[in-house]
Amino acid sequence: MSGRTALLVGATGLVGGHCLERLLAEPVYTGITVLTRRDSGHREKRLDERVVDFAALTAADVPAVDDVYCALGTTMAKAGSKEAFREVDHDHVLTVAELARAAGASRFALVSSIGADPDARAFYLRVKGETERDLGRLGYTCLEVFRPSGLLGERTDRRLAEKLSIPLLRVVSGALVGPLRPYRAVGAGTVARAMVAALLEGEKGIRVRTYDDIEALAAVGR
């Protein structure tokens, strides 16, 4: 395994930031392209960072790569409306995936959410499920879907109430056993390590990863 190239979207987010650090630490990747809405601040010879407008993305913005890592997403609070949320979490993700696939990418890793289902009553989970479903139709040789529950990690924009809830989230997560284990909170860095490990392994097919899979893959990627 040598000379792999990667595309990352969502590098300024919680999981995406960890994913970028992991990719830069992985010598198998000789070239890493980041599509971002704002400068990530990273400077590295192998890194090609492109500030783009995801609403107007074209084939010229997306180079030929082997692997695509997608941590692109927003929240209902930030988006401000259902339409704006769907535009980011579904439309922009699909645009990146379609352009990358057309350019030759064969492996794709997506950060989704526990409970994602295209038939879900909850709008958030329904959009996540529709995104997963539509990605599965694009013909990627390897599609890895990661469904974390609560994410542990320091967000730069986290509100005080959210910061205070993290210790409680850790305690509650430890009590989730049996069929509730997939709902345990997991570290953002753990998800990122698992994503990279999964695509480096590159097994053919579509796989959905929840808590136990994420932890196991992350251990491989240490």
Helix (H) or strand (E) holding 34: strand 29-36
Catalytic residue among 29, 69, 82, 128: 128
Exposure string of 155-184, with b = 16+ CB inside 10 Å and e = fewer, is: eeeeeeeeeeeeeebeeebeeeeeeeebbb
- Please say if 204 is a catalytic residue: no
Supply the angle between the helices 93-102 and 123-135 in degrees, to the nearest 10: 10
- Please say if 211 is a catalytic residue: no
Catalytic residue among 124, 163, 183, 211: 124
Exposure string of 19-34, with b = 16+ CB inside 10 Å and e = fewer, is: bbebbeeeeebebbbb
Q: How many CB atoms lie within 10 A of CB 68?
A: 26
The residues annotated with a catalytic role in the active site are: 124, 128
